[in-house]
Amino acid sequence: MSENDTHTTLNNGLRMPLLGFGVFQTPPDETREAVAEALRVGYRLVDTAAAYGNEREVGEAIRASGLDRDEVFIETKVWISDFGYDETLHAFDKSAGKLGVDTLDLFILHQALPTDFDKTVAAYRALETLLEGGKVRAIGVSNFMPDHLARLMEHATVVPAVNQVEVHPYFTQPAVQAADADRGVLTQAWSPIGGITAYRDTGTGSVFEDPTITAIAAAHGKTPAQVMLRWHLQAGRSAIPKSVKPHRIAENFDVFDFALTADQTAAIDALDTGIRGGPEPEAVTLETFAREIPEA
């Protein structure tokens, strides 16, 4: 296991684990146990969001782990209902309060709001203020397409450290990854092992059963999920797989003892269907996606 395998340096000089643990759709009563197990296995990056409704349980698990605060990299997200300058400053108070921390390692906008981009810009200005004040150590965005990033940078002074987007073998978003790379933004993959292709009918079938991936997995004595995570890490992407099953949590972290060949990587790259599993970024509006984020 090399340092290049396990960590990356963000564009502001902050070191971050490449492989993290996600808690999207994990019910609060299961989150505490899942995060505790992930930390026990060795994960040191935990990704949550205000909209997930489980920040409090993430914080409880981290405190109960016995790990020092600076040993765990905490990432969370501002929901669109809390966009706006003052609203986003308050969103920090809500998230930090639920997590039980004074400082967030990475604080990102959960979506762009294309129909009210001024609110998106104001929210990002609040992130810049929090960064300048030492409340957060890095700031970023999520689900931003290249045009969103370009529009944001017409107003922003701090380049996002991270853009968290849907990336898995069936949906690789090459244009997004290229736009991120051009600006020194780290692409972080949500649904990195294509879980969304298993629980949502995208018309592609489940990536877990793809014959190319299962053949590569068999060649290495690994699971399809492990092969996909290795694919991300070797490309320099961050990945945040999720599970509540202890054996899967451990399995997904056991990806540092093998390497894909150039041919195997190219074969996985070639599986891209261009079919998105998550919502279309342009369809995200307050009318359709607003939800109240409770106080801490």
Residue 176 CA to residue 186 CA, distance in Å, equals: 11
Q: Please report the pLDDT score of residue 212 as a whole number.
A: 98
Nearest to 111 by CA among 38, 190, 186, 215: 190
Predicted model pTM? 0.97
Q: Is 52 a known active-site residue?
A: yes
Crossing angle of helices 262-269 and 211-220, in 10° steps, is: 160
Which among 43, 52, 124, 170 is annotated as catalytic?
52
Q: Please report the pLDDT score of residue 2 as a whole number.
A: 52
Q: Please report the pLDDT score of residue 240 as a whole number.
A: 98
**pLDDT, tens digit only, all 296 positions of the chain:** 455 679 999 999 999 999 999 999 999 999 999 999 999 999 999 999 999 999 999 999 999 999 999 999 999 999 999 999 999 999 999 999 999 999 999 999 999 999 999 999 999 999 999 999 999 999 999 999 999 999 999 999 999 999 999 999 999 999 999 999 999 999 999 999 999 988 888 889 999 999 999 999 999 999 999 999 999 999 999 999 999 999 999 999 999 999 999 999 999 999 999 999 999 999 999 999 999 999 99
Q: Please report the pLDDT score of residue 4 as a whole number.
A: 61
Q: Please report the pLDDT score of residue 1 as a whole number.
A: 46
What are the structure tokens assigned to 70, written together? 């600076």
